[in-house]
Chain A
């Protein structure tokens, strides 16, 4: 009987401290259990991280775009090559829309090493995007009173000398988790 009592306490603790976060979560605790079902957290991409078009450089360099979309082209040489008109959606930060339970704190997980590789369409050449970062640095985020949040996504594109001409694409995955 002592064992059985322990089980009941454990399950009740789960119901109070762990809470049930979404449909499908069941709780078999006794009448003293309190369960709050909260909105599931969701994340949706609203913009890609776009480094735009630039002329093949003769020496390596970097293009940095911060989470607010500010572009730093100082790493590309010669610098005059960077002033070309941007076509299409141009350069800009990535963005994500997060929804969930109002006021809830959540963790954001970036790609391992905060980097990813872009691969040339029709080829095997790559460019690395390093220093991938998001709004708020490494701190947890809190959903607003309406259960929403927006995350900007920045990074640094590392361009090689005489980088092969073409269109490069890669993916950056963000995971959000309730705390």
Chain B
């Protein structure tokens, strides 16, 4: 009886020895041998900035009296400095108003506005003003553009274009 019991005991010892050898060959490290951490990686794609002119909202000086005085149309579209001849005589008054543009883009990003009189504009002496905000609000902004014409324009009809450029800061 004692002899037959000895066989399984030997098997257990051999198994343990094998396990110990494996551990020695490939060192088994306890907790603390390695550690893991995560970093976030982030990127934000923002909407391109856009600008478009509001239909019918052009910069219009109406009718002026030649040689009389300079004339200013405010950003709000009100004219000062010269009289509207046709309005003053009560017939065929021509519209006066500021140009208006709408800007779209990123929610609250800051942007820079530039307004220029285009080459080829017949009103070469025109200077421009605008009331552009510094930042978009809820991804939108409105820009009104006024201007000033000096005195001394020769009688005639003048047209031309202006350009407004917006750029993300």
Q: Which residues of A contact B (CB under 8 A)?
A: 3-4, 6-7, 10-11, 13-14, 17-25, 39-45, 47-56, 63, 81, 84-85, 87, 94-96, 116, 118, 127, 129, 153, 155, 157, 159, 163-178
Contacts and interface: CB of A to CB of B under 8 A. Distances in A.
A36 B114 CA distance: 71
B1 to A, nearest CB: 22
Please tell me the size bucket of the interface on B: 35 or more
Given A3-B14, A17-B27, A96 B37 contact: yes
Interface string B17-58: 100110110011111111111111111111111000000000
A46 B31 CA distance: 23
Contacts of B106: 53
23 contacts: A7-B17, A7-B20, A14-B28, A21-B30, A21-B33, A40-B31, A40-B33, A49-B40, A53-B44, A53-B106, A54-B43, A55-B47, A55-B48, A84-B168, A85-B110, A85-B169, A153-B39, A157-B41, A166-B44, A170-B41, A171-B40, A172-B38, A172-B41
B41 A116 contact: yes
A178 B20 CA distance: 21
A63 B106 CA distance: 20
Contact of B39 (A4, A7, A48, A157): A48
Contacts of A153: 39
Given A7-B16, A17-B24, A84-B168, A168 B44 contact: yes
A94 B39 contact: yes
Contacts of A169: 40-42
Contact of A175 (B27, B34, B45, B47): B34
A84 B27 CA distance: 53
Residue from B23, B40, B106, B168 with most neighbouring chain A CB atoms (10 Å): B40
Contacts of A6: 17
B43 A175 contact: no
B91 interface: no
Nearest to A39: B32
A20 B33 CA distance: 9
Interface in B45-80: 45-49
B50 to A, nearest CB: 11
B20 to A, nearest CB: 4
A117 B100 CA distance: 43
Given A7-B13, A53-B44, A165-B46, A25 B30 contact: yes
B10 interface: yes
Contact of B43 (A43, A94, A157, A174): A157
Contacts of B42: 48-51, 118, 167-169
A94 B17 CA distance: 46
B38 A173 contact: yes
A14 B30 contact: no
Given A3-B17, A13-B24, A49-B39, A166 B45 contact: yes
